[in-house]
Structures are given as structure tokens and as C-alpha cells.
A and B are shown apart, each in its own frame.
Chain A
Amino acid sequence: MRHLRFFTFLILLLPVCFACQKSKSGITVAGSTSVQPFAELLAEEYMTCHPETRIYVQGGGSSAGIEAVRTHAAQIGMSSRSLTGEERCLNAVTIAKDAIAVIVHPDNPVRDLSLEQVRQIFAGKEKSWHEVNGKRDPFVLVTREEGSGTREAFQKLVMGEKEMSMECLVQDSNGAIRQVVASDPRAIGYISLGLVDASVRAVNISGVEPNTKNIGNGSYTLVRPFLFVFSCEPVGPDQAFLKFVLSPSGQALLCREGLVSVTPAKQQL
């Protein structure tokens, strides 16, 4: 009986130990699934140099990440959209810029679309690829679900006031959209430029190819900020991690993955 009690006590103690360990120098980073893969890379890199810090990267979406920072469930929130409304009282730092690429199947002959054409296509006004110098096939539109940061950015940057067609197929991640577009020659979708691979092709927008150079000089306009959100001025390990992210090596890592670095002058720190 004694032993049993002792063991029970030990088992009850376990989570406490873990909790203590975690609170020592753990950073929880939560939010946008678009930023998540990049934050994971940064965290990995950072932890190899600073083994005393543990960084936990979680998804959940931009809104959830910002909410987590507000309630102090996470130290750093990731957001792929600008802060709105009462969120503005939080401290947001742009860590990089990401372009949204309009993607089609590699076999699709269409290589160039104007912004207006993309808008008309996703609004459901144009029905056939033939109308934009493609084959005589109907469009298969693929979009993200309501609430996604990528969708919000696309709505703002491309659609403006126009509403997206109800015919759109809806997928719940960048990867799922890429999968659908990669398997259907008639499909058109949009994903983060960093996630475009050989299975799909990003079309030029009005002759401007989506690449780092054109994003940097501002000619490619489908660009949105990737933000780290803090509840106040970052201190301690949070600040150290942010410093690393904005440092040349951190930015170089992001550039290698297809993002565009922010110039030091534009930082809000």
C-alpha cells in the first residue's frame, strides 16, 4: 500500500517536472500554417546554436496565433496577414515577405495572365481556358477555405471588392491545393511562392515572373508580409530568437527557402 502511494505521488509529480523544465527557457511560436514551415527551420537552426532554449512551433492559423499571444498562451504569434482592429495594440515585426504564386498544371500552355484576368477567372466570369489563349477546357478553380491568411491576402491583393466564385473547390492547405493542381491539367490555384515545386508551374502576372528579384524591386505585386507578433516589446529568449531571425544568417535561410528578406530600414524595431 505504501509503495502504491509513493508511486502515485511520483506519477503525479511527473507533469510538474515537465512543466518546470518547459518554463525554464521554452518559446512557444504559434500561428499561420504558411509561416510555420519557415519558423520550424529557423527554430531548428537556432536550437543547434543555442541548445539551452527549446522552441515549440505550432500551427493553428494566423488568427489563432494572434489570439494565443493575446492570452499569453504563446510568446510569439505567426501571422501571414497584417493586424486588424484591436489586434493593432500588439507588437508586430515583419520577418520576411512572401509572394503568392498563381499556379497551373505543368502541361498547361498558358504562361502569362494579367491581374485582371486572374480576377475574372476566380470571380467565375471567364469559364474556359480558351478565353485566355489556352485549350478549350473549363477552369477548375481551387481556393483556400474562409479564414485562411493566404485566402485573405489573395482576396485583398487580387480580387479586391470582387467575390470569389462559388464554383471554387476549397482545400484546407497550400499542399492540398498543389496536389489538386498537380493532378488536373485544367486547374488553377494559388499558394505561397516558397511552396511551389516542380509538380506545378507558377504563371507570370502581366509578364512579371514571380521570383526574388521581381519581388524585391516591387514589380511583382502579389506580396504579403510574414509577421512575428508579440504582446509587448520582446525580452530575454524571445528577443534573442527574433534577433537571430532578423540577422543576416536568419534572413539568408529564409531567402534560400523562397521568401524575400526585409531590408533593415523597414523593420519596426
Chain B
Amino acid sequence: MEKKEKYIEKALLVIALSSISALALIAFFIFKEGLPLIWKVGVYDFILGDRWVPSKSEFGIFAMIVGSFWVTLGSLLLGVPLGLACAIFLSEWTPAWAAVILRPTIQLLAAIPSVIFGFWGLIVLVPLVRNYLGGPGLSILSGSLILGFMILPTIISISEDALKALPPAYKAGALALGATHWQAIWRVMVPAARSGIVASIILGMGRAVGETMAMIMILGNAVKLPDSFLDSARTLTTNIGIEMAYASGDHRQALFATGIILFFIIMALNSTAIVLSRRRVR
């Protein structure tokens, strides 16, 4: 009997490791394919070069790093206030009937494939932006709006969990000292749940940085440093997505190298999120 237990334990270990080995394999291949090109071009020129002309062997991804930055920032400007408000409402005020509607709806929002978001944005949002605000419509603004909605579920669910995990004494204590409900939430509970909320925002950022399909459809993909929120831009992920099909040789390696930079950004974001969420309320 004991022997059987051992075998099961070992088998489960192997299965668990195999899921991680997928990550290891992906990382290995990205680095193997991409690093030679980064050395060839030079780390500095690759990251801070603003000309991306693969046909002339010019590989600089600074415009895309900037593009990723602005699109992500824009999505957070929309997603964080909305998401936080929704999380507070869900954890503090929601009557039973509203919760029955709200929670499944938010889960549904998370389940909508990104290509649907992209298609909707292209058909509905892009013409609106073009007609009322100018520019080509395919712009950072349109992309940020769509991404803002896409990261909502992440922000809402994790922030709500953080708020709900607080000891009841916090709220009770605040109320006993004469604070109103809103004062208790804003002055006591939200600061106390700060680490969880920040973690939710960072995970949302990770989602925003990684989104590809919808952004290919909405951002316009021009390779240049954007001048305004109405300008087209290209992010790191869309650079890979849009040029992958035809790339060969150095060009293909440059796309893998873009993946390396993306890998580091996502890893930094996730590590920050993990560190922050471990620092639970004392």
C-alpha cells in the first residue's frame, strides 16, 4: 500500500514538473533564437533604437516599448477607477439580487475572447474616435479603452478578495469610532487592503502588456513614436503578432528578441505582484 502511495506521489510530481517544463522550454527557445540578434545589433541599439526596418536590417524596438507603455497606462487610467469602484461596491454594498447579476456578468467579461473585443472596437469604437476626435481612429485611445475593459475582471476580482479578506474588526472598529460607512471604507479598509489592490493592478498591467489580437486590430500598428493619444502605435506583442507570418532569418530572430524584452517586463510585473500580495495585512 505504502509503495503505491509513493508511486502516485512521484507520478504527480512528474506531471507537475512537466507543466513547468513547458515554460522552461519556451524560455529556452526564445533566448536561443533571440539573444544572438541582440548581441549582433547591440543591447543599447536594440532597446533604444527608434527605427524598425527589418528589410534594411535596422532593428530598434524603442517605439514599441513606448507604445506598450502608453497603451498600458491608458488602460489603467480607465480600468483602475472603474475596477476599484466595482470591487468596493461588490464587497460592501451589493444587495443579494445585484450580486446575482453582477458576479456572473463580470466573469462573462473575462471569458469574452480578445478577438471579439478587437472586432467590436474596430467596428464601433474606431469610427467614433475618428469622427469625433480626429486622427485615423486606429489609435492609442481606442486601444486603451478596449484594454481598460479587458483588464476590469482581473482588477475587480482580486481587489474584492483583498477587501473581503480584511478582519471584520477593522470595519467594526472604524464604525465604533464614529466613522461613516464611506469613511470606514476609504480611510481604513482600502488602505489596509492596499497590497492586494496594488497586486490586482499589476496583474491587470500584465494582461494589458500581453494582449495581442485585439491590439493588432485596433492600434493601427504604425512603427513610430506616438505624438498623442490619437496617434497609431505598435506594442511589443503586436510587433511579433503582425510580422511573424512572413519573417525569416534576422527578422525572425528580431521578433524572438522582442519576445525576450517582453519576457523580462512580464516577469518584473509578476514578481512585483507576488511580493506585494505576500505582504498581507498584519
Query: Which residue numbers of A lie inside 8 Å of B, CB to CB?
Result: 33, 59-64, 67, 140, 145-149, 152, 155, 163, 166-172, 176, 179-180, 183-184, 186-187
Contacts and interface: CB of A to CB of B under 8 A. Distances in A.
A61 B246 contact: yes
26 contacts: A60-B245, A62-B246, A63-B247, A67-B248, A146-B55, A147-B55, A147-B243, A147-B246, A147-B247, A166-B51, A166-B222, A166-B223, A167-B222, A169-B136, A169-B221, A169-B232, A170-B221, A170-B223, A170-B234, A171-B221, A172-B221, A172-B241, A183-B126, A183-B127, A184-B130, A184-B136
Nearest to B247: A147
Contacts of B216: 172
Interface string B126-138: 1100100000111
B251 A147 contact: yes
B282 to A, nearest CB: 51
A152 B222 CA distance: 17
B245 A61 contact: yes
A168 B246 CA distance: 19
A170 B222 contact: yes
Nearest to B54: A146
B142 to A, nearest CB: 12
A166 B220 contact: no
B221 A145 contact: yes
B131 to A, nearest CB: 10
A179 B118 CA distance: 14
Interface string B232-269: 10100000011101111001000000000000000000
A170 B242 CA distance: 9
Contacts of B241: 172
Nearest to B139: A169
Given A170-B222, A172-B216, A145 B130 contact: no
B224 interface: yes
Contacts of A167: 222, 224
